[in-house]
Amino acid sequence: MKNDKIKLDIIDLKILNELQDNGKISNVDLANIVDISPPSCLRRVKSLEERNYIRGYSAILNSELLGFKVTVFAYVGLESQAENDLQTFENYISLFPEVRECHMLIGEVDFLLKIVANDWDHFQKFLTQHLTQAPKVSNVKTSLNIRSIKSLPGIPFENVI
């Protein structure tokens, strides 16, 4: 990783904002939007990637059309919050592709998981055979997602630029 002391300027922020909204934008179009030359734009994007401001590119897929009709949020409590126990759970849960997000929390529960499944039976099998059997898990509470009203990736550049 290169020197993190290099500050982001307004052009870098505009590049990040545009790429967050449209990761497929061409370098020429991106350069035109941020009002710099294409070679300069490409250098800046590469620098942002190297400095880990851009961690990757992906497509946002329609999970229901692809057969994943169930989304469940699981609230997981562990037997202890010792670092070794936390790491053991994190390593274990990272093995399962059904777990799309895993967040360690402060408060009543230790982890919040976002889990996707083809159907209710698929989720129930995952829950009983894997999640509740995970090392150091003391309790699991789940909530079925009925509908998602808002799901935005990234950060709110409206507050930055």
pLDDT digits (tens, 9 = 90+) for 113-149: 999 999 999 999 999 999 999 999 999 999 999 999 9
- Judge if 74 and 137 occupy the same domain: yes
3-12, 38-47, 78-87: range with lowest mean pLDDT:
3-12
Residue 161 maps to a domain:
no
Domain count, the chain: 2
- Judge if 44 and 75 occupy the same domain: no
Q: What is the CATH number of the domain that holds 22?
A: 1.10.10.10
Span 41-64, mean pLDDT? 95
- pLDDT in the model for residue 2: 47
**Rounded to whole angstroms, how far apart are CA atoms 114 and 148?**
13
- pLDDT in the model for residue 88: 96
- pLDDT in the model for residue 1: 43
Largest CA-CA distance found in the chain, in angstroms, rounded: 57
Tell me the average pLDDT of the chain.
94
- Judge if 36 and 92 occupy the same domain: no
Residue 151 maps to a domain:
no
Q: What is the CATH number of the domain that holds 74?
A: 3.30.70.920
What's the token pair of residue 2? Answer: 């290169």
pLDDT digits (tens, 9 = 90+) for 12-26: 999 999 999 999 999
Residue 98 maps to a domain:
yes
- Judge if 29 and 83 occupy the same domain: no
**Rounded to whole angstroms, how far apart are CA atoms 137 and 6?**
42
**Rounded to whole angstroms, how far apart are CA atoms 6 and 60?**
31
**Rounded to whole angstroms, how far apart are CA atoms 48 and 23?**
14
Residue 91 maps to a domain:
yes
Find the domain containing 101 and state its range. 70-144
- Judge if 84 and 140 occupy the same domain: yes
- Judge if 85 and 40 occupy the same domain: no
